[in-house]
Amino acid sequence: MKSHTNTITDAGNGALHFSINFVEGDGKSSHFELTAAPDGKESAVTGDPDYIDSAVVTSSKPGSFHVVFKKAGKRVEWDTFTVSKDGKKLYGHLAGDDNGTKWKYHWVSERQ
């Protein structure tokens, strides 16, 4: 992964809006967007249908949420995000399966 920009905003009524841009190691870039409440219901993802087409967002406690991204009903990526107590950092723990190749990475973002 060369770069990754993840913007998460309040979409109202308890929902979050995710706007995600990334560039893979091979230079391929992707963009996708999702608006969902952390209620465990499947929501549509737009932007890069070759990668994912839906997601399920859940939350077990304030300041933390889990996202499962799917392609054609199959889980391809599962992520956990936690906001620091002071609200200035977002910690991401991501994992996935690209056609049998499993991957994972961790990152820390600072609020801009």
pLDDT for 4-15, tens place per residue?
888 889 999 999
Distance from C-alpha of 68 to C-alpha of 80, rounded to nearest angstrom: 9
Percent of the chain having pLDDT more than 90?
Answer: 63
Query: Could you tell me which residues come within 8 angstroms of residue 112 by beta carbon, excluding any fewer than 6 positions away?
Result: none
pLDDT for 62-97, tens place per residue?
999 999 999 999 999 999 999 999 999 999 999 999
pLDDT at 22: 86
Break the chain into its structural domains and give their ranges: 3-110
Distance from C-alpha of 21 to C-alpha of 52, rounded to nearest angstrom: 13
What CA–CA distances, in Å, run from 11 to 2, 33, 36, 38? Answer: 28, 12, 8, 12
CATH code given to domain 3-110: 2.40.128
pLDDT at 1: 75
